[in-house]
Structure 1
Amino acid sequence: MRPMLATHGDHVPPGEEWAHEVKWDGMRILADSAAYGDRGRYRLTSRNENDVTSAWPDVAEGLREMRGLRRRDLLVDGEIISLNDAGLPDFRVLQERMHVRRATSVQRLVTTVPVTFMVFDLLRLDGDDLTREPLATRRARLAEVLEGSPWQVPASYDDGAMLLEATRQQGLEGIVSKRLSSPYRPGERSPHWLKFAHRFRVSYVVGGWRPQEGTTDRLASLLVGEMTSDGPVFRGRVGSGVGPRQSRALAEAVAGLTRAASPFVDEVPRVDASGTTWIEPVLVVDVESHGRGLSRLRQPSYQGVRTDLTPDDLIPPRPTSEDP
């Protein structure tokens, strides 16, 4: 079974017929007990119906010690999340575990990269297909069934506009608004589920550029960093938004700034460093991306050069003795 998907919304719907949830930056998972009987273990499948059970034993066996749930037949929909150093859900943290299958490596990662399974829908319970039931009914039964379990049922809110603003201030990915009367349509992208993702615009320092594939001089992407008192910390590669006109302007801006080595104070991944022309970290650009406080920009888009800013302007102020 494939999970039900949300469509992009243009405004958060008001009214009592809608509920609103945090949009988690994680990996979508269906957990099904039918594959293993009543032993408290679950088969986990990804959005593309791939069996990923072996990568997440802490999720797959999360209910083993709960005797009541061990004997129950469940099919649930949710998101596996892991937190970054800023305490925010970050899909990139999960990537360290997603493709690992060797048992010894997986067990090590269970400790070093802990995860939480956020369960937001109940599709089957004790043999009863609940997909035709309204969301309000499914959510109520889900909260009752998983009460006290290590799997978490995220909160649902009736004020979508408030939640959208709160998630923006906290640097979260966004929200999903769901019609309480909606059934669950496996594999469909439904207008009864609407998603709203935040985009954040931030200034970064450019530390290098890469040419378009097959060329040596057509600037196609920038390597950018977050400025600190020690120098720029690498935050990713930005190619979206760099069209022909922007490419020509940026090529002029970086002319004469070439240097032999990376200006970033941390190590740049080989996949990004390969083919890069390093430059002195003096050029500031604006970048729009999903999420905030991430170790690497997600879906970044180039917005323009900031001639009014210098790298020193981007260094966060040091806390004073009066700061709490």
Structure 2
Amino acid sequence: MSALRPMLATATDHLPTGPDWVHEVKWDGVRVLVDVRAGAGAARMTSRNGNVVTPAWPDLSEPPLGDRDVLVDGEVIALNERGVPDFRTLQHRMHVRRAADAARLADSIPATLMVFDLLRLDGDDLTGRPLAERRELLAGLGMTGWQVPASYDDGAMLWDATLQQGLEGVVSKRVTSRYRFDTRSRDWLKRAHRHRGTFVVGGWRPQVGTDDRLAAVLVGEVTPDGLAYRGRVGSGITGATARRLQEMLAPLTRTDSPFSDEVPRVDASGTTWVEPVVVVDVDTHGPGYDRLRQPSFQGVRSDLTPEDL
């Protein structure tokens, strides 16, 4: 039998309102279905792609309800140095399969399982019941070790709160929604925060298969120690935007990197370095990280110089 895959949310640019919806924090982690069969004595964890990932999470595999039969949907999270859930913190753990390595990383990078849906309980399939009922049953289980995050009636309030706290965003769910495996549903809507920052271009990379058509720029942040590398930005750079950027950067070519720190080889290879004078705005998925997350080019800031930053 093929592995179950979780129900997914549809992206939206606005949160729904009214009594038909509840709202939850969008966690920046790894989605899992956790299956505990009566008498098995251990949890079986599968990823959103249906892969078994139990060995990576020995600190989460102890069922909080003992041998009670349950199937839950949730997100594995880990906190970064700022105390905020961060997918990149988990990347050190998520592909580990050797028991000794997994146990060592569980000590240095502790994980938490946020359980937000109950799909089976004591042999009863709950997927056909409305979300409100599933959540009520989940809250009444009294889990210890796994956490059941709160849901909220006020989506606008949660949107503002998650923005202030540096969290990923909000998921809104219709209270009457049934759970449908391996489906992207409009009964669940997700909206992630985007943050705009201003950076300096230090190089550009060509489109794959060409040597001379700009496809991405390498950008940095002005710091007291120089221009610190923050990542490569390709999204949003097409057509006329790419041509204008290339014309602007062509006279600024130099032979060495203008960044004060080392640029990863995967980014440096094939890059044309430029004098760091062009300032651009970039939208990113979350502030405060060494590398930009899901960056999107927004435009050149002709009103600013690097000295202004």
Compute the TM-score of the two structures, normalised by the length of structure 1.
0.88
Q: Is the 8 A contact 1:84 1:294 kept in 2?
A: no
Q: Which residue of 1 aligns with 2:93?
A: 97
Query: How much does 1:220 deviate?
Result: 0.9
Structure 1 residues 37-48: aligned runs within 5 Å: 37-39=39-41, 41-48=42-49
- Aligned pair 1:32/2:24, yes or no? no
- Structure-2 change in CA distance of 1:113 and 1:253 (3 Å): farther
| Deviations 1:144-165 (CA, angstroms, capped at 9, x unpaired) | 2243x12111111110111112
- Residues 36 and 67 of structure 2 are in contact (CA less than 8 Å); yes or no, is this contact kept in structure 1? no
**Which residue type is aligned with residue 119 of structure 2?**
L
Distance 1:23 1:262, change over 3 A: same
- For 2:294 and 2:215, the matched residues in 1 are separated by 15
Residue-by-residue CA offset, 1:203-246 (whole Å, 9 max, x unaligned): 11222211111222211101112322212332221111111312
Counterpart code for 1:56 = W
Alpha carbons of structure 1 residues 264 and 109: separation in structure 2 relative to 1, 3 Å: farther
SS at match of 2:220: strand
> In the alignment, which of 135, 140, 151 is matched to residue 156 of structure 1?
151
Which piece of structure 1 moves more, 213-222 or 90-99?
A: 90-99
Matched to 1:53, the amino acid is T
Alignment of 1:95-244 (within 5 A): 95-147=91-143, 149-244=144-239
**2:16 aligns with one of 13, 21, 24:** 13
Please state whether the residue corresponding to 1:30 is helix, strand or coil. strand
Shift in Å at residue 38 of structure 1? 4.0
The CA distance in 2 between the partners of 1:201 and 1:12, in whole Å, is: 20
Q: 1:115 to 1:265 in 2, by over 3 A?
A: farther
Q: More deviation in 261-270 or 163-172?
A: 261-270
How far does residue 33 in structure 1 lie from its aligned partner after superposition?
A: 1.1
- Kept in 2: contact 1:199–1:290 (CA 8 A): yes
SS at match of 1:302: strand
Displacement of 1:279? 2.4
CA distance in 1, matches of 2:282, 2:20: 37
Give the secondary structure class of the aligned counterpart of 1:158.
coil
CA change 1:21–1:189 in 2 (3 A) is: same
Distance 1:127 1:13, change over 3 A: same
Q: Which amino acid aligns with 1:46?
A: S
Distance 2:221 2:99 in 1: 36
Alignment of 1:243-322 (within 5 A): 243-314=238-309
- Runs (4+) off by over 6 Å: none
Whether the aligned pair in 2 keeps the contact of 1:38 and 1:72 (CA below 8 Å) is no
* Structure 1 pair 257–168 and aligned structure 2 pair: CA distance change class (3 A): same
How far apart, CA to CA, are the structure 1 residues paired with 2:45 and 2:234? 34
TM-score, normalised via structure 2 length: 0.92
After the TM superposition, which of the residue ranges 228-237 and 153-162 deviates more from structure 2?
Answer: 228-237
**What's 1:317 paired with?**
none
Q: CA deviation at 1:109?
A: 2.1
Paired residue for 1:318?
Answer: none
CA deviation string 1:1-41 (max 9, x = no partner): 1111112234322222211001111111001112x8342x2
AA in 1 matched with 2:123: G
Structure 2 unmatched runs, 5+: none
Question: Aligned-pair RMSD on alpha carbons?
Answer: 1.9
1:84 positional shift: 2.5
Q: Is the 8 A contact 1:146 1:153 kept in 2?
A: no
Identity, in percent, stands at 65
Q: Deviations over 1:50-108 (max 9, x none)?
A: 111112222223x4xx5xx1121111101111222333222222222222223333233
SS in 1 for 2:295: strand
What do residues 107-147 of structure 1 show as CA deviations (whole Å, max 9, x unaligned)? Answer: 33223322221110011111111111211121122122243
* Structure 1 unmatched ranges of 5 or more: 315-324
C-alpha distance in 2, partners of 1:60/1:270?
A: 37
Matched with 1:322 is none
Q: Counterpart in 2 of 1:58? A: 59
Instruction: Show CA shifts across 1:240-259 (max 9, x none).
Output: 11113122221222224333
The whole-number CA distance in structure 2 between the counterparts of 1:135 and 1:57 is 29
User: Does structure 2 conserve the Cα–Cα contact (< 8 Å) formed by 1:88 and 1:293?
Assistant: no
